[in-house]
Amino acid sequence: MLFNILVHMLTETSRHAGHADILREQLDGSAGTATDYATQQRDAAFWEVRRNQIEQAATAAVARPDHDLQP
């Protein structure tokens, strides 16, 4: 029983870690290891443009007609 729980938890962790990596790659446009990611230098102008892109995507998602905030 404990083995089944551990396998389930490892499967779920790897699945969701993969989702987080996909989201990160979509947000910052880079793929690769954490070492590759950490070595990329980005200035304030890059982050301002990136923040605007993310904000526009969030605003568009909320404005979609199929988006319902009611429980």
Percent pLDDT > 70 in the chain is 65
**Domain ranges for the chain:** 2-63
Residue scoring higher pLDDT (38 or 23): 23
46 pLDDT tier (thresholds 50, 70, 90): confident
Residue 51 has phi, psi (to 5 degrees) of -60, -40
Cα dihedral 8, 10, 11, 17 sign: positive
* Single pTM value for the model: 0.40
Could you read off the pLDDT of 2-22 as tens digits, one per residue? 888 888 888 887 776 766 777
